[in-house]
Each structure stands twice: as structure tokens, then as C-alpha cells.
Amino acid sequence: MKVALTEKPGPIGVFDSGYGGLTILHEIRQLMPQYDYLYLGDNARTPYGTRSFEVVYEFTREAVQKLFDLGCHLVILACNTASAKALKTIQQNDLPKMEGETRRVLGVIRPTAECIGQITHSRHVGILATSGTISSGSYPLEIRKLYPDIAVSGEACPMWVPLVENYEYDSPGADYFVEKRIGNLLRKDPAIDTIILGCTHYPLLLNKILKYTPRNVRIVPQGEYVAYSLKDYLQRHTEIETLCTQSGTCRFLTTESPDKFVESASIFLRQHVEAERVVLE
């Protein structure tokens, strides 16, 4: 990463490989509307879920660098795959090389794992996520660090993101793929009473997910928990909080066509936004 960065306060950066991170951004802004936010979607290179650790790290590092260059001191990886495959390397290898100590990168897996101990009663938890997140083992690792007594089972859902991004998440055709993956997960461990939606796209499939999930099983989308975790982080780390500007603005960047981004973003945010195209390198 580059090291010559501004020390002036700036917006909170939010990064995702595509559009799913907008569900995280929405919850964060609902809870903390006073801050300025800069969202970056690497829509030209999505999806990340099937890519290697090396490629996900490289792409994520480039995005984080871009947000730092644009004045962000704090970046949230609102992408489970990036959090699973790139966060630790960026925190341990890249941030220490930078001048000063005012840059931070946080993910979405740890905040989600932290809440699970208070939700599950059976101590059996399921994860529905992309192939990359499941193969990384990040959720079982984080949950077992905090709650060694909790059994964790995962199921990859490779068709779920395409269903969302092709606007098929509420179509009859989505039922087959949703029912199949939930059934697979519950057959692995029938004692599961809590299922984490380990991909930020999946809240758009919530109606279908609830349709095929037993009523005694609780579904946990991430947005609300990540938002409260971020609020707590800023309260505990005032040296970072003071570097986050507060004018209530939100700017959107994409590596794809801005028109295409605006069309899809409206589905996730249920409002019209303006977007600008950027190039990552």
C-alpha cells in the first residue's frame, strides 16, 4: 500500500465486491446517520465468492487503498468473502507499513460471531454463505474462539448471489435453490436453531428463506449487528471517531457503469442514488 495519506478527517469507507454491502451500509446509516460515508462497489470484478484467496486479497487491497486515498481513515469490508480472505492479511501486513496509526480496516464476520452466543439456545448454529466464505472456515473459527461449546455447520449457496443480482430473488424459480440449500444445511445438523446469513446479498432472499426454514430456527441477517458493533467501536476508539466527518452525506463509487450501479442499487436501498466510476489499481 502507499504510505503518503492525508491526516485530515474524512468519511467512513464501506467496501463490497458488488451490491450486497449496501444492506450493511443501510443499517449503519439508519443507526448513525450523522457520519459521512463513501461506498465503493467493485462491480466490474464481482463475484468474489469463487475466487482464490490471493485474488480476493489483491482486489480488496486495491479497494481499501482507493478509499484511503480518498480520505477515509476507517474502512468497513461489508463483504463476507473479503472479510474471510483478505481482512487479516491487510490488518497484519499492510496497515503496519503505513505512516501514522490512523487507518483501520474492519470486517463483518467478527461482529456477527459475537452476537451468536446470546441468540442460540441449542448451541448448534448454521451458516449460509458463498463458496469462498464457507471454504475459508472463517465463521467456525471466529465463533469457536468466542464460544467453544457451539457447533457450527456451513452450506455454500453458489446460486443465491446470481439470483439476487439478476433480480430473480422473488421469482418462483428461486424457491428450488433456496429450499435445497436450507434442506442440506439442516440435514447436516438437525439441532440447528440459528442460521447466519453469511452473505450481504441474502437479506433480499429473506422471504424465500423464511418460507423454507422451520419456525423454531432463527435467521440472523448481519446488517443490524454490524451497525451496532461499529457504533460501539467508535465509542471505544475516540482517536478514530474524531477522524470521521459528520455532515450526513453518502457518496457512491463503482468500478462498473454508474448507470448499471444505480439501477441495481435502488433494489438494495429502495431509493435513487447517484454514482461515479473509479478505476482500481
Active-site positions? 79, 199
For 31-150, strand residue ranges (E) read 37-41, 74-77, 104-106, 124-129
DSSP 92: I
Burial 97-111 (b: 16+ CB within 10 A, else e): ebeeebbbbbbbbbb
Residue 166 identity: N
∠ Cα 164 167 171 (to 5°): 95
With a CB cutoff of 8 Å and minimum separation 6, the contacts of 182 are 128, 155, 195, 209, 212, 213
- Contact status, residue 63 vs residue 263, Cβ threshold 8 Å: no
For 42-77, strand residue ranges (E) read 74-77
> Is-cis flag, bond preceding 47, omega within 30?
yes
